[in-house]
Amino acid sequence: MLDKMRFNYLLSALLFLIFSLPAVAKPALVPAPPHIAAKAWLLVDFNSNRILAEHNSEMRVEPASLTKMMTAYVVLTEISNGSVSLDDQVLVSEKAWRMKGSRMFIEVNTRVSVRDLLKGMIIQSGNDASVALAEHVAGNEESFVQLMNQYAQALGMTGTHYSNCTGWPAADHYTTAKDLAIMARALIRDFPRHYAWYREKEYTYNNIRQNNRNRLLWLDDRVDGIKTGHTESAGYCLVSSAKQKNMRLISVVLGTASDNARSSNSRKLLNYGFRFYETFLLHKANQPLTRMRIWKGETETLPLGLQEDLYLTLPRGQRRKVDAKMSVEPMLVAPATKGQVYGSVIIKLTDKEIIKRPLVALQSVPEGGIWRKLVDNVKLMFQ
């Protein structure tokens, strides 16, 4: 009886010690990306631009009809600049009419609106529509291609060169998975209203109805674009984008063996990103993070903040481990120009620096008058 009482006492004491120990935080576990049967692939968060998975992302590949993403970008830019209108009536040339491959079936010497041509290129992947748009914007395809390459350089697509506006195989026509992600981000960011066309499942022109070749539009409600590509040499390619709650991902899958393969591998990447990562807004652009004393100016304080929204993409469960700090110049003296850098915002995750952004003036502060300068000079003597 005594041994039994002693045993129960010891058991109770042991259980008390176990459950009174401080809880140990579980590490955020992220497995390796799924196996992707493709020549090159990439998964990136749209807002933070953080790459979550990649393979051969800077390897030169044929873009095939993914080229039309840049063709659309150039045309939409010209529309936003006012030099082209969606209602412009484009006279279809014989060259555009004779284009091989995927077509929207426009007729030679007829007039088609820029709006219809864009939809025929985006939804039906029409090579004929691409050439007609290029000729309307730049006079001929060759001049339009020069614009394409100039925009590629401006966007930072350093591994890309275009030889045509359709993606027809050519010796000096290439891109990379990383550059295609840049292209996709630019389209979604700069033309959100027109980007909605990439989610349309079908388009009818000339009494011919054609389906969008992006199968994910039927298979995954999160997916709202963007473009497929295929040639014998390039294989089956897909750049896709999906949004779940406040998180948008872009996947690039290049050189798969079939239409089904490019769709299934793209879904694998998207599911991986949404399952194991989360994206959140840490600081908004143009909102004061601090107000600093500025000497000898018309005003006594200068608001400092970020020029762009600061998003973080982290493994799920690590948000509480983020530490944000500011480093600011010790003395600010007018004049100050809006956008001028006065320090930095440093983001750390478990004491490791992961992001550093410039801390800039959110407004200009001109020099103050003689009296303000005199008063501040006296105050500075006692600083």
| Residue 367: burial class (beta carbons within 10 Å; 0-12, 13-18, 19+) | middle
Q: Is 68 a catalytic residue?
A: yes
At CB < 8 A and 24+ separation, what contacts does 104-111 make? 104/128, 104/129, 104/203, 104/205, 104/206, 104/208, 104/210, 105/205, 105/206, 105/208, 106/132, 106/205, 106/206, 107/206
Q: Is 241 a catalytic residue?
A: no
For residues 94 and 121, the answer to whether their CB atoms sit within 8 Å is no
Q: Is 65 a catalytic residue?
A: yes
**Strand segments (E) across 72-192:** 89-91, 111-113
- Give the closest residue to 163 by CA, choosing from 177, 153, 173, 174: 173
Catalytic residue among 48, 57, 125, 251: 125
Q: Quote the DSSP letter at residue 297.
A: B
Tokens standing for residue 249: 């991902």
- Give the closest residue to 180 by CA, choosing from 76, 27, 51: 51
d(CA 109, CA 116): 16
SS3 state of residue 194: helix
Tokens standing for residue 129: 């529509």
Catalytic residue among 39, 48, 57, 65: 65
Catalytic residue among 39, 57, 68, 119: 68
Which amino acid is it at 120? G
For residues 273 and 249, the answer to whether their CB atoms sit within 8 Å is yes
For residues 52 and 111, the answer to whether their CB atoms sit within 8 Å is no
Query: How are beta strands 290-295 and 332-333 bridged, if at all?
Result: parallel
* 92 Cα distance to chain centroid: 34
Active site (catalytic) residues = 65, 68, 125
